[in-house]
Structure 1
Amino acid sequence: MKITAILSALAAASLVSAGKFHSTKPGKANVVPGAYIIEYKDGISRSNAHDNLKKHAIDYKVRNEYDVFNGAAITVKSQHDGEALAAVPGVKNVWQVEIFSLPKNEKPAKNGSDVEAQSLHHMTGVDVLHKKYKLTGKGVKVGIIDTGIDYKHPAFAAPGATEGCFARYGKNCRVKYGWDFVGDDYNGATEPKPDSDPMDCQGHGSHVAGIVGGNALNIKTGPKPATPWVGVAPEVTFGAYRIFGCAGNAGTDVIMAAMEMAFNDGMDIINMSLGGGSSYKENPTAILGEKLIAHGMNLGGAAGNDGSEGVWMVSDTGLGETATSVASFDNAYGMYNTVSYAGATYPYSPSVATGNTPIALPATATLFPLLDKAGALQDGCDAAAYTGLDVKGKVVLLIGDFSRCGSVGRGNVAKSVGAAGALVVSVPFGLAGLTGADGIPMAAIENRAGEAMLAAYKKNAKNAFTWSKAPTNNQVEGGGAPSGFSSFGVDGELRSKPDIGAPGGNIYSSYPRAKGSYTLMSGTSMATPYYVGSQALYYQAKKSKPSGADARRAFKNTATIAKNWGSKTYASAVKQGAGLVNVLNAITATTAISPDRLDLLDTVNFRGVQKITIKNTGKKTETYTLSHVPADALNSYAKGNTFPEAVPTIEADYASVKFSANKVKIPAGKSVKVTLTFTEPKNGDAKHFPLYSGYVIATPSNEGSPAVHVPYIGLKGAVRDVPMIDTDVGAPGLASINAKGEIAEVATPATFAFNFNTAAPTIQLRYGSHSPDATIRVYDAKTNTFLGFVNSRIWGPAFGATGRMTTHDEDGNINIRNYDWHGQVFKTEDATTTPVLLTAGSYNLVVASQKKLTKGAYPADFEIINLPTITVSA
């Protein structure tokens, strides 16, 4: 029997099976009146379950939502008891909420060691596919374009083997394909020294590969993990395409070469957990990706880890029309080192500079919160904050607001005043990633941990620290919600990116044996392989090789729409895309909606009328109910600022939707088109350009098939008016640059004479948003004749598309781009021509940035900022 037939049979069986109510015996325990714990059946998502409760007229309030345990705690406000809840379709078990008191001198039990709970496969349906349907990704080829793979690691061993191997024709080698494009010493700027051995000496690629398809459940020889774990698709065949050396970066040239080799090797899916700034889809890796997808491949690209930068920051690799840009969700559990303080234990995340190793400070290194006069924690960016304070040998507690400086800057300040270490409290919650400063142990702690430590310190300042020697399993603040670090969209054309989310925060996986064999890492780099592994299970279940576009649509249609941590409203599609991947839903769904996203654009270019096609891929006629769920709107310019705020303001700016039919009946194998008419939000100031979003849902009457949905995103206001250049920081500006390339002094145009050798001008810019054509134009000051476009030695021709810049550089300083100009100009926007060298004279420089969604007519479609006239001497 085909797997699809098995799934259909099980789905049909669930229609007639009732849940069980486990009544509490009188006198056994106290209960909360009207409060119940509900466990959903396998394959029932949160949205399915809540829809079913509402269909049965049950009025309730959610107390808690659970990820690892597939269910929820609710308070029933209507006249329904536990038996009534158990009778609702999709409910497996019901218990009353009981009240227990802890025995005296009894500490709360530690988190269990259940493998599936730690890996969070419950929240994505992967656990069911492993256990019930025995899906492992066998027969599917996955290419890892990364730092290589430690292919001898036991987590990559074939079934029955004790260690992994790499051999193109080896019968028992799971890593069958691969190539080292660069060599150990390559850093992105040095000459690549390729060879045939893709062994990983950095670590990232091995961790990524482990998430896709590692298996550390039964390690018999070699390094064993602290906790057994299994990847999403533990029997995939790997291709290891190494594009990074032991440190440093990778050039687009080797990335594209690796993509093509992966295609030639027959990879079904390629994983590209690469970093990249915001861009347009017309970047080379995205263009090549689209071509490969058109020829039958599938591609997952990381959305980026710039969530602290605000909107417009999704990375470029997954920007193609049919590529998948993957956002991150936090794992509810994670393997973390811990620190004990005042009788309580808290997980922490050490800085990169600390080496991601356990912190080992003596008990004499006590806590010292850095407080202001009002008693609030300070960020530690200024040395003056430590004036008169003795922090030598102590661990300073700092607030983790990175709006003024980064972890490098505050770490260096703490080190300069003699602190033994620094604990940085995550804002608003979770465990932030820290770069950290060299020479001082630093770590991020959760917000709740920071509050608890501060309260304990105020009671007894002499409390000592105890630092763990090895990681343990910890429940993590913010788990199950979109990761704070995950980048916000949209792209420069208001296209909906990222596409979908997957577990990427606090993921335990394989690591090179020379570096400890296993480690915990966070990032969209971890979410992407989770998605790619999920695709491998989908391929195996379907026993076919669907197109990349079809596979992506299946996953986006059936993802779990999520809320931010502690929120009652749905997180913006600008953050989570279509939601958290639900592999079981993707495989069992008998409905598809296309297209898989709706780009409404802005008020000026509003695409308010949209058409969707709903297809019934099942075997019976189905009736679908159409509905609409709004999500958070994001306001990034509420203060009239010219650079987007690092943390967008969440607003209730909701669009409304009318359907040409609220219900549609579709025969098996047939499709129906439905017209959607959107109305922009009534709330929200168009001058602040709020990004609003939501989801259009089609719910089948048949419980056996999950509901499907499509996300939409729009911008209220005219996107052409979104500021290009951040004038709030004084940009654009002029300065002089000396022969060594150093910025010598700020120019005073009325008296200062530049030359193109010892005192060349440099134009200082800060792009706060994408521009299709970011130019710096040169005019003769006397005749106003256009002379050409600036050619910078550092940045090259000053024309062409650009993405927005990050808020700060690596040292925590305001990020400014300096276009040094030594007199060369291009007459046209053609970088293949020869630039012309201008001589002494007077020139006007004009920073002209094309506005988004315009045709590029100059000057009407450009944001134009004139710089003062400059004089250039001979």
Structure 2
Amino acid sequence: MKITAILSALAAATLVSAGKFHTTQPGKANFVPGAYIIEYKEGISRSNAHDNLKKHAVDYKVRNEYDVFNGAAINVKSDHDGKALAAVPGVKNVWQVEIFSLPKDEKPTKNKNNGGDIEAKSLHHMTGVDVLHKKYKLTGKGIKVGIIDTGVDYKHPAFAAPGATEGCFARFGKNCRVKHGWDFVGDAYDGSNEPKPDSDPMDCQGHGSHVAGIVGGNALNIKTGPKPATPWVGVAPEVTFGAYRIFGCDGNASTDVILAAMEMAFNDGMDIINMSLGGGSSYKENPTAILGEKLIAHGMNLGGAAGNDGSEGVWMVSDTGLGETATAVASFDNVYGMYNTVSYAGVQYPYSPSEATGTTPIALPASATLVPLFDKSGALLDGCDAAAYPADIKGKVVLLLGDFARCGSVGRGGVAKAAGAAGVLIQSVPFGLAGLTGSPGMPMAAIENRAGEAIIAAYKKNPKNAITWSKAPTNNQVEGGGAPSDFSSFGVDGELRSKPDIGAPGGNIYSSYPRAKGSYTLMSGTSMATPYYVGSQALYYQAKKSKPSGADVRRAFKNTATISKNWKSKTYTSAVKQGAGLVNVLNAITATTSISPDRLDLLDTVNFRGVQKITIKNTGKKTETYTLSHVAADALNSYSKGNSWPSAIPVIEADYASVKFSANKVKIPAGKSVKVTLTFKEPKNGDAKHFPLYSGFVIATPSREDSPAVHVPYIGLKGAVRDVPMIDTDVGAPALAYTKANGSVADLDAAVPDFKFSFRNAAPTIQVRYGSHSPDATIRVHDAKTKEFLGFVNSRKWGSAFGATGRMTMLDEYHNLNIRNYDWHGQVFKTADPTATPVVLPAGSYNLVVASQKKLTKGVYPADFEIFELPTVNVSA
């Protein structure tokens, strides 16, 4: 058969089944109206797809076209929605164009001397990069790294070419290490308005320049231009950069722009792309993850930020790194950091101000003495109850306990302000410096746990001790330094796959910043950890004098990472938090052993994969003997109180699995491999009703001392993951409300049966709040009298109420309880087919059922669903 005939047959075959429309995820209400991303089926060309759209009378304007992704982003000008687009022949997947943000809580420390010598150098000592720079002379030379971010200040002297006596003054010109790039959006772009692209990716926001500096900035020998307080160097200081700007000076970026930047980076020959982006939890079937997998298959590697949602508990790793071969990077804290300080009883303690307080050093008068808020037993209170404050608190600084389970920093700040306090110090729990939102008009700051204990002890000796505030930041050893960052997101994903993959230094990182904004600053986040990992890959490529596949590189780094213990603890941090551990670049490059696969997903008790096989390969030049061992890590219990919403801080338990090896020692000739069978047993401890996530590491240690040990992490869940709560019943969800004609949502009282709804001006509104992933989150409509199933709710705001959904965050972007309101104006889908045409039901009496498919089930209704029946709604004409 001729090639043309084969292609024709393939194209014809792909037109048989309808495509899939993926509705917007909970927690991602921000999307561009009328804008969609379309992925074509295999064998469908761009011209075929456009012909098919025109044949189905779709009036549209192209936003972006994609080659590797095989699709397009379009603005639809006709009445066609995502469901209709998915019905067009040749369409495989359709998504709304969503709006991404920079990861939350990543703000610069604004001061002139924010880079201590110890701080600038300590992170490279943590990872072996300092040895690679000095002994091996590795710099990343010849490796291309794409920064998909806010752009890069390419004229910054930290990005000048090696040996240059002056910086880069012309875009991509002489002395520039930023050799490629594009501005996809323009300064005024915020994610929702029209992009105004041009060829200049200059950074006016700052995030991208900081990220690029971590990958490969060099401020050791700056002779002209702004100089840092302390010389510093990035991980790979001779890489070549591509700067792909997807954010304006403020605001967000849309999915279609991100995909375009990813493809341009590939076409420009980037070896690795850095994606320090913020996204909510989801399944791996999202556009950026899908394209990422395709690019990795074509030879480019990718690092994605795991996210800064550590305060949200489990199930929260961000979208971009969820691909099967992509890398989701967690953050570890640098040992040192620059902070303003507060002194009490003559001892100085670092503090982290709330967002509402801002970055200006707190300045309270000497008369503002400190008072811890104790209960009757002498224990520190959280400050949520107004009655607990003494009458003489006015004008004083109150010390509170940092347990945010009840009212958060906004609530307690408001209570303290109303009581007349002059300021608030919050003792972090369990350690570190907590991130606070805070209350406007109330100076608030977090202090370390050890600082709180010391202040309380000093207060008990002398309640009249003076409290003073520094005027500038100083270098401080950080509580928790060297361990996983408190803000770094926990895994796993909705299919119990092990994410994040690995960790890197991301807390308290000093790097470049736009010259117009001070040139250098300190920032923290998984956005900082990701470029550290990406720079590490550049050193690896240079050392190996090759560009191995993405899967091989990730395995090399995961196998050789440093397994971390909790700060000042004898137990190992859960792999749900640290992945395989802290990146150790020296080990990755010098190791002569590998283990495949690079993770073991044991799943849950019902689907337990207790028998696993690993392959150990000796890549050295001599026969080697390996000893196999196992270390268990902390188990994380997020449902210890029978709660339906996962705990913000999981309870650490000693629920340890056991492992037996088919051979405890193996002898492997040079260049050969051996398979070893592992037999796991679930932990004896731990209540299966609370779904503890247990984990650990299987280790192969060579007899030679000059070759590092290698390991692979495993994660499992004790209990049935199908029974993990998906709807947050603790706050009364699901519940009924109504949407007014102006679009505002009003809550109902208990007398729901007596309320008269109207599809026009009092639309029934179903309030849901997802605390975990569901493969199919549905809202079903039944006739109240006959109980006949009439269809699935179609909401004007949220679309069809079925399909996969990720976890929601505790609070929305306005710091209110995050609730998703499905406004129902009578439209339903008769079947769970987004390509069908919805029908409109008349006035009548209906029963609404919130039914969410349980994880790792086949989706048989009702057996495989968590079901909540809402009261009958009576809809008038």
1:20 alignment partner in structure 2: none
CA distance in 2, matches of 1:365, 1:191: 50
Q: How far did 1:302 drift?
A: 1.0
1:261-410 matches, cutoff 5 A: 261-386=264-389, 388-392=391-395, 394-410=396-412
- C-alpha spacing 1:153/1:477, structure 2 compared with 1 (3 Å): same
CA distance in 2, matches of 1:838, 1:767: 27
8 Å CA contact 2:120–2:230 kept in 1: the answer is no
Q: How far did 1:523 drift?
A: 1.4
1:622 alignment partner in structure 2: 624
CA distance in 2, matches of 1:614, 1:695: 15
- C-alpha spacing 1:834/1:365, structure 2 compared with 1 (3 Å): farther
* Structure 2 residue corresponding to 1:631, chosen from 622, 630, 633: 633
1:757 alignment partner in structure 2: 760
Pair 1:837 & 2:856 matched: no
- C-alpha spacing 1:656/1:584, structure 2 compared with 1 (3 Å): same
2:190 alignment partner in structure 1: 187
Tell me which amino acid in the other structure corresponds to 1:866: E
1:690-709 matches, cutoff 5 A: 690-709=692-711
2:588 alignment partner in structure 1: 586
- C-alpha spacing 1:746/1:531, structure 2 compared with 1 (3 Å): same
- C-alpha spacing 1:161/1:469, structure 2 compared with 1 (3 Å): farther
Tell me which amino acid in the other structure corresponds to 2:772: S
* Structure 1 residue corresponding to 2:802, chosen from 788, 793, 799: 799
8 Å CA contact 1:770–1:804 kept in 2: the answer is yes
* SS class of match (1:318): helix
TM-score by length of structure 2 reads 0.84
Tell me which amino acid in the other structure corresponds to 2:535: G
1:452 alignment partner in structure 2: 454
8 Å CA contact 1:153–1:163 kept in 2: the answer is no
8 Å CA contact 1:725–1:768 kept in 2: the answer is yes
- C-alpha spacing 1:282/1:163, structure 2 compared with 1 (3 Å): farther
1:22 alignment partner in structure 2: none
8 Å CA contact 2:120–2:510 kept in 1: the answer is no
CA distance in 1, matches of 2:755, 2:385: 34
2:159 alignment partner in structure 1: 156
Please list the CA deviations of residues 14-62 of structure 1 after superposition, one character each: whole Å capped at 9, or x if unmatched.
Answer: xxxxxxxxxxxxxxxxxxxxxxxxxxxxxxxxxxxxxxxxxxxxxxxxx
1:66 alignment partner in structure 2: none
Tell me which amino acid in the other structure corresponds to 2:137: K
- C-alpha spacing 1:869/1:112, structure 2 compared with 1 (3 Å): closer
Q: How far did 1:514 drift?
A: 2.4
8 Å CA contact 1:236–1:536 kept in 2: the answer is yes
Tell me which amino acid in the other structure corresponds to 1:636: S
CA distance in 2, matches of 1:152, 1:209: 13
Tell me which amino acid in the other structure corresponds to 2:733: A
8 Å CA contact 1:330–1:504 kept in 2: the answer is yes
CA distance in 2, matches of 1:133, 1:223: 30
* Stretch deviating more after TM superposition (168-177 or 778-787): 168-177
1:53 alignment partner in structure 2: none
- C-alpha spacing 1:152/1:436, structure 2 compared with 1 (3 Å): farther
Q: How far did 1:526 drift?
A: 1.2
Please list the CA deviations of residues 768-823 of structure 1 after superposition, one character each: whole Å capped at 9, or x if unmatched.
Answer: 11000101111122222222211222222211111112223355543322212122
8 Å CA contact 1:166–1:176 kept in 2: the answer is no
1:574 alignment partner in structure 2: 576
Report the identity percentage: 87
* Structure 1 residue corresponding to 2:495, chosen from 493, 496, 509: 493
* Stretch deviating more after TM superposition (360-369 or 644-653): 360-369
CA distance in 2, matches of 1:786, 1:294: 44
* Structure 1 residue corresponding to 2:671, chosen from 665, 669, 672: 669
Q: How far did 1:390 drift?
A: 3.9
* Stretch deviating more after TM superposition (428-437 or 657-666): 428-437
8 Å CA contact 1:166–1:177 kept in 2: the answer is no
CA distance in 2, matches of 1:745, 1:437: 26
Please list the CA deviations of residues 130-157 of structure 1 after superposition, one character each: whole Å capped at 9, or x if unmatched.
Answer: 1111111111111111111222222222
* Structure 1 residue corresponding to 2:648, chosen from 641, 646, 649: 646
Q: How far did 1:192 drift?
A: 2.0
Pair 1:769 & 2:781 matched: no
1:523 alignment partner in structure 2: 525
* SS class of match (1:638): coil
Q: How far did 1:550 drift?
A: 0.4
* SS class of match (1:483): coil
8 Å CA contact 2:621–2:670 kept in 1: the answer is yes
Tell me which amino acid in the other structure corresponds to 1:666: I
Q: How far did 1:839 drift?
A: 1.7
Q: How far did 1:162 drift?
A: 5.8
8 Å CA contact 2:119–2:337 kept in 1: the answer is no
* SS class of match (1:262): helix
CA distance in 2, matches of 1:175, 1:668: 42
2:659 alignment partner in structure 1: 657
Pair 1:861 & 2:846 matched: no
CA distance in 1, matches of 2:350, 2:714: 37
Tell me which amino acid in the other structure corresponds to 2:613: K
- C-alpha spacing 1:196/1:126, structure 2 compared with 1 (3 Å): same
* Structure 1 residue corresponding to 2:791, chosen from 788, 793, 798: 788
8 Å CA contact 2:635–2:656 kept in 1: the answer is yes
8 Å CA contact 1:168–1:177 kept in 2: the answer is no
Q: How far did 1:731 drift?
A: 1.1
Tell me which amino acid in the other structure corresponds to 1:790: V
Q: How far did 1:442 drift?
A: 2.9
TM-score by length of structure 1 reads 0.84
- C-alpha spacing 1:745/1:499, structure 2 compared with 1 (3 Å): closer
Q: CA RMSD in A?
A: 2.1
Q: How far did 1:184 drift?
A: 2.1
8 Å CA contact 1:699–1:708 kept in 2: the answer is yes
Tell me which amino acid in the other structure corresponds to 1:525: S
Q: How far did 1:384 drift?
A: 4.7
CA distance in 2, matches of 1:116, 1:125: 15
- C-alpha spacing 1:435/1:223, structure 2 compared with 1 (3 Å): farther
CA distance in 1, matches of 2:442, 2:223: 38
1:607 alignment partner in structure 2: 609
* SS class of match (1:684): coil
CA distance in 1, matches of 2:122, 2:699: 29
* SS class of match (1:760): strand
* Stretch deviating more after TM superposition (223-232 or 154-163): 154-163
2:550 alignment partner in structure 1: 548
* SS class of match (1:601): strand
CA distance in 1, matches of 2:386, 2:143: 56
CA distance in 1, matches of 2:435, 2:158: 26
8 Å CA contact 1:404–1:812 kept in 2: the answer is no
8 Å CA contact 2:166–2:223 kept in 1: the answer is no
Matched residue pairs, number?
A: 763
Q: How far did 1:577 drift?
A: 0.7
Q: How far did 1:113 drift?
A: 5.8
Tell me which amino acid in the other structure corresponds to 1:859: P
Q: How far did 1:281 drift?
A: 0.8
CA distance in 1, matches of 2:763, 2:317: 35
- C-alpha spacing 1:406/1:221, structure 2 compared with 1 (3 Å): farther
* Stretch deviating more after TM superposition (588-597 or 177-186): 177-186
Please list the CA deviations of residues 193-222 of structure 1 after superposition, one character each: whole Å capped at 9, or x if unmatched.
Answer: 222222222222121111111122233333
* SS class of match (2:809): coil
* SS class of match (1:586): helix
8 Å CA contact 1:138–1:235 kept in 2: the answer is yes
8 Å CA contact 1:408–1:810 kept in 2: the answer is no
1:228 alignment partner in structure 2: 231
* SS class of match (2:753): coil
8 Å CA contact 2:635–2:694 kept in 1: the answer is yes
Pair 1:177 & 2:176 matched: no
- C-alpha spacing 1:421/1:253, structure 2 compared with 1 (3 Å): farther
* SS class of match (1:260): helix
Q: How far did 1:284 drift?
A: 1.2
CA distance in 2, matches of 1:817, 1:825: 18
